[in-house]
Amino acid sequence: MGRGAKRVGVSLPRQHLRREGRGGERPCSRPPSLVRSEDRVGRSDLRRRAQDRPVHADLDGKNVNKDWKEILLRNRVWRSVFRHAYPDNERLRSEVVTSNLFLHVHPVKVYPESLEFSKTIGLGLISFYLFVILSVTGVLLMFYYIPYVDRAYQDMKDLQFVVSFGVIVRNMHRWAAHAMIIAVFLHMCRVYYTASYREPREFNWALGVVLLLFTLFLSLTGYLLPWDQLAYWAITIVSNLIGVVPLVGKKLRYMVLGGTIVGQNALIRFYVMHVIVLPFLAFVLILVHFWRIRKDGGLTRPDEGVTETGERDEGGEEKDLKSYGLMNLVEGRTPHVGQDPDRMVTAWPHLLTRELNLFLIVLIAIMAMSVLFDAPLEEMANPAVTPNPAKAPWYFVGLQELLSWGNPFWGGIFVPTVAVLALLLLPYVDRGQAGTGEWFHPARRRAVIVFTVIVVAAIALILVGEYLRGPNWRLYWPWEKWPLH
């Protein structure tokens, strides 16, 4: 450029310049990609390199390579199944997640604090693993069960004494069902105590509440299938609870049972709902629930309460925000850019190995319970012999206890309906940000106390109804003997 030439100003993107050039190269901006330069290798280049490398010895003993990774990469079966090379760098570990149908529900990277067990106690994953165990054992039980009142109880006896490992499979199914109710309930409590239901996770909280109801209905419909006295009269009690619904109670009870009594129609309806309808709907909702967790930004963290203007939120600290630019045409500031990607770790192997370990722990625990304790099985159902007292399943016995206090409408309909509606509306009423992602934050002390009192009261109702109610629904202490007649 000559001395008389006019200088023209050129705008540059907001990127750091290298302080030192390489050889005769001019200084240039750092590559915009977050992936290191040594990891930015095309998939086709990796495959070509793998194919060009010698991986086995010929007859003369030349070109010997004992690297099992290279042998694996050259394998035609491997290359037909996996679309990526061996995951030995950050980019390929990311492709393990993005190119796998079952792993794609995971994010490519997660924050290290999200991997800490104390943050979630793994309750969401435990609930899902129990659902998987229930699905597998349920399919196995279907091979030996016929939903017919004259055969159902005998099939239970065959599972217990004839079918190889049948009693273990049935025990696993029963204990996993009870454990799933507890796990889903505790998972909901964890989300509340950490305020993880707040924006933008309101809808996912509502999905979780619906999944809790599905868990209860799944267990209830399966409760009748053994067709013993415990199952028959428990479902009879629950159907009577349905009958107290104003205006439509009797018709709703008739629709559920397929008649006026618990019989063959009720058994086949409960069977279809238990093995087809409810599991399918629950599986779809679980997938949506997982998908929304990822799309809503993953698990909540205490540093999420940053506003788009970089202001200090209530109870939080001011967060640094970075600028972004697109060819110097669009500029802006966003908290997502401010989240340091170098602090994150890849989901493979950090997250996936933890998930696998937790699944093995859950499986071992359920199997151990199934070996040590048998699922209850009383005598065959007999409508002519009414047990005293007849109780609903333990997770509904709290409602039965409420019914004994007065008007059945208030205890059986009003209280549970208000409780469910309150849970669904909670995230849309609570608009605060203080304490999001933290256990028992001081700013939420009053809300935590109120919720804890409600939870303790619900548990107390279950314990009283299950262990302290005797004949004629009278109170008996555990050390008191019940009258024989």
DSSP states of 408-448 as a string?
HHIIIIIHHHHHHHHHHHHHHH----TTTTSTT-GGGHHHH
Residue 312: strand, helix, or coil: coil
The pLDDT score that the predictor gives to residue 154 is 95
Give yes or no for a contact between 230 and 378, defined as CB atoms under 8 angstroms apart. yes
The pLDDT score that the predictor gives to residue 436 is 82
Q: What is the pTM of this model?
A: 0.75
3-state percent helix, strand, coil for the chain, nearest multiple of 5: 55, 5, 40
Give yes or no for a contact between 176 and 137, defined as CB atoms under 8 angstroms apart. yes
The pLDDT score that the predictor gives to residue 338 is 44
Give yes or no for a contact between 468 and 475, defined as CB atoms under 8 angstroms apart. yes
Fold classification of 112-303+343-473 is: Cytochrome Bc1 Complex; Chain C (1.20.810)
Q: At 185, which amino acid appears?
A: F
Tell which residue, 271, 236, 270, has the closest CA to residue 145: 271
The Cα 125–Cα 477 span in angstroms is: 38
Give yes or no for a contact between 132 and 283, defined as CB atoms under 8 angstroms apart. no
DSSP string, 165-196: THHHHHHHHHHHHHHHHHHHHHHHHHHHHTTT
Task: Examine residue 393 and say whether the peptide bond preceding it is cis (omega within 30 degrees of 0).
Answer: no
Q: State the CB neighbour count (10 A cutoff) for residue 22.
A: 9
The Cα 321–Cα 337 span in angstroms is: 7
Contacts of 444 (CB under 8 A, 6+ apart): 195, 432, 434, 435
Domain boundaries, the chain: 43-110, 112-303+343-473, 304-342
Query: CA distances (Å), 25 to each of 20, 28, 37, 293, 329, in order?
Result: 10, 8, 17, 46, 27
Per-residue pLDDT 10s for the chain (485 aa) are 555 555 655 555 555 554 444 444 455 545 444 444 444 445 555 455 545 544 444 444 444 444 676 777 777 776 666 666 666 666 666 666 666 666 667 777 777 777 778 888 889 999 999 999 999 999 999 999 999 999 999 999 999 999 999 999 999 999 999 999 999 999 999 999 999 998 889 999 999 999 999 999 999 999 999 999 999 999 999 998 888 888 888 999 999 999 999 999 999 999 999 999 999 999 999 999 988 888 887 777 776 654 444 343 444 444 444 434 344 344 444 444 444 555 777 777 777 888 899 999 999 999 999 999 999 999 999 998 988 888 989 999 998 899 888 787 888 888 999 999 999 999 999 888 888 888 888 889 999 999 999 999 999 999 999 999 989 889 988 888 888 76
The pLDDT score that the predictor gives to residue 104 is 66
Task: Examine residue 349 and say whether the peptide bond preceding it is cis (omega within 30 degrees of 0).
Answer: yes
Query: CA distances (Å), 390 to each of 76, 367, 468, in order?
Result: 63, 30, 13
Q: At 460, which amino acid appears?
A: A
User: 152-161 and 166-193 helices cross at what angle (nearest 10)?
Assistant: 100
Burial class (CB in 10 A: 0-12, 13-18, 19+), 7: exposed
Q: At 289, which amino acid appears?
A: H
The Cα 364–Cα 371 span in angstroms is: 11
